[in-house]
Structure 1
Amino acid sequence: VSLGLIVAAMFMQLQNRYMRSLDTGMDHDQVVIVNLSRDLAKPEMKNTLVNRLKEDASIEDVAFSGMRVGCSDTYMRWGRGLADGRSIHFTCLPVSWNFCRVMGLPMVEGRDFEEEDDLRAGAFIFNQTAMSEFDMTLDNRVFGHQSDLVPIVGVVKDFNFASLRNEIAPMCFYQFGKEAWYDLSVAYIKIKGDPFAGAAHIKRTVAELDPLYPVDIEFYDTVFDALYRKELKVTTLITVFSLLAVVLSLVGVFGLVVFETQYRRKEIGVRKVMGATVAEILAMFNRSFVRLVLICFVVAAPLAWYGVREWLGTFAYRTPVYWWVFAVSLAIVLFITLATVTIQSWRAATANPVEAFKTE
């Protein structure tokens, strides 16, 4: 159990570190997310908010979307028809015209949204996966939310718009145009310079414009980490149980060593009389426990490998199943076992042989 739990805890730590270090394709460094109230999300109020925010030199740009991009497992799904009669299904993320620019999402074909797209019927930007899977080109037209044919103006490079539990799927950014049917209520504010000064300015500005709505600002990195909070909690629990299992193993080893030294004390005395050294007696005790640990490892390793593989299988992006993790767990348990056995059997190995033959 100790071996299996140590392997599980190490792989969970590796997976958590892997998810937090993987490049998702978005530049979310020094980006603050603010959920806007219904009043503040209205177009005229958003323009005022942007102008007030940009009065401070620490604010580089402000974009908006209908939801927190990259901070969830699932998003709004759309089924739409193409002008050529085909039907397609994809994830739709309504955004403002400058969203890709603020989040550092490059175009691989076509162009980015333009502010003038708000005065038209709207525009689509699909990711590479969607363009490939649906065999689309920039010449295709897609029916929008008002049954108007809306152009595909660009193709964005694939990025992880959902959590790393999911593979990159067909998705699009959608700019509503002049017939918006709901407000974009999530603000993405890019800060340059001192992030804390910028965050303070944002909080102060939002509070002034909408004093009745509680201001809740979060750095994107914090929101991203919260997406994997469940895995972090499970990792912590497994680590605690691993430590507990190791402690229980030590208690068991301690009891076995005490029993064996008492049971074999006459044998130890005879061996010492016949010339056995302390090192040889300690090796005799440790040998049997090393065999025991190796047998446990042979049983635990395949079970741990199967469990880790199944757990990692729930992630589309995952760390490899490294062999060295199993070797490290074996080394940890062996070291702890040998240290316990050596310390507890030292007294019997160094005792006067005469004491072993005394009649109780």
Structure 2
Amino acid sequence: MLRNYFTVAWRTLTKSPTYSLVNLIGLALGMACSLLIGLWIYDELSYDRFLPHHEQIHFVRVNYNFRGGETQTAFATPGPLADVIDRDIPSVAATTILSWPSETLVRVGDKVAKETGQYASVGFFDVFELPAVQGNAKTALANLNQIVISQKMAATYFPEGQAVGKTLQLDNKRVFVVGAVLENLPANSTLQFDWLVNFTVEEKEWQSAWTYNAVMTYLRLRPDASPAQAETAMKGLFRRYATFDNKERVILQPITQLHLWGDYKNGVAVGGQIEYVRLFGSMALFILLIACINFMNLSTARSAMRTKEVGVRKVVGAGRLALMGQFLSESLLMSLLGAVVALGLVWLLLPPFNAIFDKRLALDLADPARWVGLLGLILLTGLLSGSYPALFLSGLRPVRILKSAGWRAGTGPAQFRRALVVFQFALSVFLIVGMLTVGQQMHYLRTKHLGLDRDNVAYVTLEGALNDYEKTEQLRQQLLQTTSVAMATTTAQLPLNIRNTSTDLHWPGQPQKQLVSVATMSVGNDFIKTMGIKLVAGRDFRTNSIADTSCYLVNEAAAKLMGIKEPVGREITFWFGKGPIIGLMKDFHLGSMHQAIQPLVVTFMPPNTQYLLIRPRAGQTPQALADLERLVKQANPNYPFAYHFLDEAYEDLYQREQQVSTLINYAGALAILISCLGLFGLATFTAEQRTKEIGVRKVLGASVASIVALLGGDFLRLVLVAILIASPLAWWAMHYWLADFAYKITIEWWVFALAGVLAVGIALLTVSFQSIRAAVANPVKSLRTE
């Protein structure tokens, strides 16, 4: 029976090649989009699940109840916290701390390159049981003279195969012996490093302070322990060991949620990358629905051509279930063909898709999970698109069908088709509004003045010989003596991505035992002038002034936090002890516009800086970069020269938003294309059904314009209804998305008007082709058989 179903289905599809082709293209495009996004979602949901005992591994965060009662969740933790947890909490099996990843120069003989690595405490391999292909990783990390490297790094520097026992040099300073080689970490890992060294080797004094969130902390629970029990046991740790009690609370985040749930509000995980998983999944479903609607529309529209087939089958004994099986087999066959075409499209589109979304996805058909997903997509698409036509056609009564050659299906199917067209174009209008709104917000992010001048600022990392303050200052002065560089400064962090925070700020009148969290950075000479930051009051740090190392600059948000209207001259206590505020900076953005501007304290400590920033003179950027390269190579010949622009670092803050913008643009274009395919098919069918009516109207004097208006008017009304339905839904969705930004655009009325005009224009162009073709046809041909 199944063979007969699919034989008849194949004959039906080949009998009407135009409609079959329209359906096939629409389904293939929708399925290809769903497959691509499905691969992306699968990869996102699989982060860190490769880790042994991943269900026991947790990332440690700390909730701070700062001034005003607001709870802030810190990504980094104080250095001593891990040891205290390990010693005092019985339900914890192991803890470890990690430094921030850093690119460090690696030298093995003549091979020199920068590799990303981290410093980790000895408990790292008790928490993360990563497999080693050579050596003993746990023993190697415990040895201060050994280093653990990845397979990729071993293949680069030791191609002969055996890396353990060989030596390499980090940062042109210390020589390490390779103690172990780890398997390469997969792309879907939040841990990404090519080397590990014992944390003690580079530990700084400030990393052992309770007032400074300096490290990333992980732990592994015992198999019989629960996160809730461990969190309860950790209450009061800060009160017992720190010099303050700010109602701190240690919270544990499962390692498998770290990638997806990065945003915390009032101490609770509220979102992050998971929002984009939901968004991308919804778009995939929307596109697939639009493709399925095409199939439903064309199948129900052509139902009158198959009524006699249904009547004859029922007369000879076919039951309703058998007829439903026949029509569903047709939709499943079309879905299967669409999947074959979709696989080809996915294979072609994966390389650019990976490039846009910074992924390494592969169409691995050897993976059983891929086949299960593909089979599910085929069944879902086939059953969804064929359900209504099967139910409708199988329910027809044979007596009504066969007694009259003029039988019509009635208004039910026509109303259903209209509803589907409205739904289809409502989704398209929704995506068009999304395209316009997201594009506007991205333009706003790129063009908004941030309170400092980020344009045309280049920077290099201070490393090697340039870690010496005197050499760095000499280099800065040499750059200022060139004709191409206008200004230069040094900073500990890039001013548009300040991540360090401190609870070390105190001032007269501060509520007792009430801590505050402030962003902080160290700067060198001419920072304010180079970055174009406006001083509301006071002065900048003086060049090479030792006295100013005990002075501070604060921004307006910090002054507001302290409740001081005129902070210049007031004394505060911070990192370097008690000192006056010498300048009040106008607020500038310290990070992305998702967050409001934080309080900031700037210290003057030229030796404690990591980046050299230059501002070229107008029109002399190429020469300034050439001068920068020449002088940096002279001062630091053992390191490769590499520069970046501050704008690049700023763009990196909005990588997720840029990906959403790209996806919604492609999804919107695809939705419109598939909708137009369906509309084209319906317009073609409508023109065929009304051929004789058009002929009569032309004989009676109807113009081409009036006939085109007659055929296109129905579709135009449906599109207008779709616009009315989609506009409030799109406004709500975009308002929800924009709520994640502290600084955002206002959604203007013209966005909906433009989306509506685009939808109407596209629909008219699609329908007009067939309408004009029918209107200019010779009426003699359509009426000569009458």
Task: Give me the TM-score of the superposition, normalised by structure 1.
Answer: 0.91
Cα pair distance change 1:272/1:130, threshold 3 Å: same
Mapped to 1, the partners of 2:481 and 2:644 lie a distance apart of 21
Aligned counterparts, 1:176-255, within 5 A: 176=605, 183-193=608-618, 194-255=620-681
Cα pair distance change 1:40/1:106, threshold 3 Å: same
User: Within the alignment, does 1:76 sit opposite 2:505 as a pair?
Assistant: no
User: Deviations along 1:280-309, whole A, 9 cap, x unmatched?
Assistant: 211111110111101211222122111211
Shift of 1:47: 2.0
What do you get for the CA RMSD once the two structures are aligned? Answer: 2.1
122, 129, 154: which is aligned to 2:550?
122
Contact 1:110 / 1:153 at 8 angstroms: preserved in 2? yes
Mapped to 2, the partners of 1:29 and 1:342 lie a distance apart of 48
Mapped to 1, the partners of 2:636 and 2:487 lie a distance apart of 20
Q: Which residue of 2 aligns with 1:106?
A: 534
287, 294, 300: which is aligned to 2:713?
287
Q: Which residue of 2 aligns with 1:302?
A: 728
Q: Among the aligned pairs, what percent are the same residue?
A: 32
User: Deviations along 1:159-195, whole A, 9 cap, x unmatched?
Assistant: 2222222222211211248xx7xx2011111221411
Q: Any stretches of 5+ residues in structure 1 without a counterpart?
A: none
Cα pair distance change 1:85/1:287, threshold 3 Å: closer
Contact 1:31 / 1:220 at 8 angstroms: preserved in 2? yes
Mapped to 2, the partners of 1:38 and 1:314 lie a distance apart of 40
Shift of 1:40: 0.9
Q: Which residue of 2 aligns with 1:167?
A: 596
User: Deviations along 1:76-110, whole A, 9 cap, x unmatched?
Assistant: 11112224454432111211142111111121112
Range that drifts further, 137-146 or 57-66: 137-146
Range that drifts further, 217-226 or 252-261: 217-226
Contact 2:457 / 2:614 at 8 angstroms: preserved in 1? yes
Q: Which residue of 2 aligns with 1:152?
A: 581
User: Deviations along 1:10-31, whole A, 9 cap, x unmatched?
Assistant: 1121111111111112123432
Cα pair distance change 1:97/1:265, threshold 3 Å: same
User: Deviations along 1:33-64, whole A, 9 cap, x unmatched?
Assistant: 11111541321221222233234222223211
Q: Any stretches of 5+ residues in structure 2 without a counterpart?
A: 1-426
472, 480, 483: which is aligned to 1:46?
472
Task: Give me the TM-score of the superposition, normalised by structure 2.
Answer: 0.43
Mapped to 1, the partners of 2:599 and 2:551 lie a distance apart of 16
- Secondary structure of 1:216's counterpart equals coil
Contact 1:97 / 1:117 at 8 angstroms: preserved in 2? no
Mapped to 1, the partners of 2:750 and 2:443 lie a distance apart of 17
> In terms of Rg, which structure is larger?
2
Shift of 1:344: 0.8
Which amino acid in structure 2 is aligned with residue 138 of structure 1? V
Mapped to 2, the partners of 1:120 and 1:323 lie a distance apart of 53
Range that drifts further, 187-196 or 109-118: 109-118
- Secondary structure of 1:81's counterpart equals coil
Contact 2:542 / 2:548 at 8 angstroms: preserved in 1? no
Mapped to 1, the partners of 2:656 and 2:622 lie a distance apart of 28
Contact 1:8 / 1:238 at 8 angstroms: preserved in 2? yes
524, 529, 535: which is aligned to 1:96?
524
- Secondary structure of 2:579's counterpart equals strand
User: Within the alignment, does 1:7 sit opposite 2:7 as a pair?
Assistant: no
Mapped to 2, the partners of 1:294 and 1:84 lie a distance apart of 63
Cα pair distance change 1:281/1:77, threshold 3 Å: same
Range that drifts further, 304-313 or 76-85: 76-85
Shift of 1:116: 5.5
- Secondary structure of 1:88's counterpart equals coil
Shift of 1:359: 4.2
Q: Which has the higher contact order (CA 8 A, sep 6+)?
A: 1
Which amino acid in structure 2 is aligned with residue 94 of structure 1? S
- Secondary structure of 1:93's counterpart equals strand
140, 160, 171: which is aligned to 2:570?
140
Shift of 1:255: 0.4
**Alignment coverage as a number of residue pairs:** 353
